Chains A and B, each alone.
Chain A
Amino acid sequence: GQNIDQPTEMTATEGAIVQINCTYQTSGFNGLFWYQQHAGEAPTFLSYNVLDGLEEKGRFSSFLSRSKGYSYLLLKELQMKDSASYLCAVLDSNYQLIWGAGTKLIIKP
């Protein structure tokens, strides 16, 4: 079967750095997405990785290792507005997105 695993909840301090991990087992791989979802709102796109390595975009970076079936999202200089759920999703061989359950990130002052 297809499976995406990520921690259910994480807590971090304002101004700090946090890394949210995602491991996957899917039928085929055509890229990995990270989305941010604030409570009561729709998911919004953060990043897309299809090749191994690190993609940096401002305070957010995403890393991919296809051989390990592993990705992480790195958030730097955390702000209170970063409190949200972070969703990992893999584009499978049929170009359908398979979604993890999401990681709820709580930022404390």
Chain B
Amino acid sequence: IAGITQAPTSQILAAGRRMTLRCTQDMRHNAMYWYRQDLGLGLRLIHYSNTAGTTGKGEVPDGYSVSRANTDDFPLTLASAVPSQTSVYFCASAGLATNEQFFGPGTRLTVL
């Protein structure tokens, strides 16, 4: 693994289904983030984690949950997907020294 990986690359999901988007980094970064990106809008923070064992809510947390059991993994779960959650989801991580965020390749999610 080099950097940040996300899975799946894309997914079509029926409304009401549960879905977990996976994110793994190998840079030993403390902080990790989940964003959604919609056309015409900036990246919007869903949830974040400043260190393993802690999480926080971002700008648009409703309908999403996260966990941070260890440094490397930061999964995002949609408990019951709705069409408004159709978006591109990016996971990012940052070290303490620079605050520069490194992004995964993204997951394109369509909820029908």
Q: Do A30 and B99 touch across chains, with their CB atoms under 8 A apart? A: yes
Q: Do A96 and B48 touch across chains, with their CB atoms under 8 A apart? A: yes
10 A-B pairs with least C-beta separation: A99-B42, A42-B103, A99-B43, A101-B42, A45-B100, A43-B103, A100-B42, A42-B105, A42-B106, A91-B99
Measured CB to CB, the residues of A under 8 A from B are 4, 8, 30-31, 33, 41-45, 48, 87, 89, 91, 95-102
CA distance A31 to B97 in the complex (A): 13
B101 CB-CB contact with A under 8 Å: yes
Q: How many of B's residues come within 8 Å of A, CB to CB?
A: 19
Residues of B within 8 A of A30 (CB): 99
Q: Can you list 23 A-B contacts (CB < 8 A)?
A: A8-B40, A30-B99, A42-B90, A42-B104, A42-B105, A42-B106, A43-B43, A45-B100, A45-B101, A48-B98, A48-B99, A48-B100, A89-B42, A89-B43, A91-B99, A95-B99, A96-B58, A97-B45, A97-B101, A99-B35, A99-B43, A101-B41, A101-B42
Q: Do B42 and A87 touch across chains, with their CB atoms under 8 A apart? A: yes
Residues of B within 8 A of A101 (CB): 40-42
